[in-house]
Amino acid sequence: MKNEKWVIALAAGLGVSAVTYYLLTKKDLPIGAKPVEAFDINRYMGKWHEIARLPNRIEQNVDQLTEQYTKDTYGNMAVITRAYHTKKKEWKEFTGKIKLAGPPNIGMLKVSYFGPFYLAYNILDIDADYQYALVSGSGLDYLWILSRTTNIPDDIKNQFLSTAKNIGFAIDKLEWV
């Protein structure tokens, strides 16, 4: 019985150590990236259309993706992601929570669709009118170009592609949806 308690305590200690190490060494921004400064979360609220994305498992077989960002009277933020699943031939909708990942004037957020687990959501570039945004996750494998409408002007598109390329994103792999 004593040996079993020792093994359980050791396993729990190793688990806590692994989680602590992960949280302390986890980067929230891709190396070389900088989030938007003078960011206004209230202007970011509203509906966004996905224009382009790096391929990822989460959005496989998904089209016409939109995100609706809201803020309630208590300051709680949420996102409703809606998309058409091309294989299942049906619309899917998921609601997530949003929180600031730093000072409110910096474009670093965290999003959670699954309980207490939050993922980095970084606004790397945004136009002055908050109509177009370049967004990443914590590494170079998640990148999105968003728009308030279903298209984007070439000058903004080229600006975002240049920014993403300079950071190290594989912009030649972007899927234009």
Separation of alpha carbons 118 and 97, rounded Å: 9
Question: Region 101-120: what's the mean pLDDT?
Answer: 94
Q: What is the pLDDT of residue 115?
A: 85
Q: What is the pLDDT of residue 58?
A: 87
pTM of the model: 0.84
Q: What CATH number is attached to the domain comprising 151? A: 2.40.128.20
Number of domains the chain is built from: 1
Q: What is the pLDDT of residue 171?
A: 98
Q: What stretches of the chain show up as alpha helix (H) in DSSP?
A: 2-25, 41-44, 154-167
The answer to whether the beta carbons of residues 101 and 119 sit under 8 Å apart is no
pLDDT value at 23 more than 80: no
The answer to whether the beta carbons of residues 28 and 108 sit under 8 Å apart is yes
Range of the domain at 119: 2-176
pLDDT value at 18 more than 50: no
Cβ-proximal residues to 31 (8 Å cutoff; 6+ apart), any chain? 168
The answer to whether the beta carbons of residues 119 and 140 sit under 8 Å apart is no
DSSP symbol at 101: S
For the chain, the average pLDDT equals 88
Percent over 70 (pLDDT), the chain: 85
What is the number of alpha carbons within 13 Å of residue 107 lying toward its C-beta? 23
Q: What are the tens digits of pLDDT across the range 134-170? A: 999 999 999 999 999 999 999 999 999 999 999 999 9
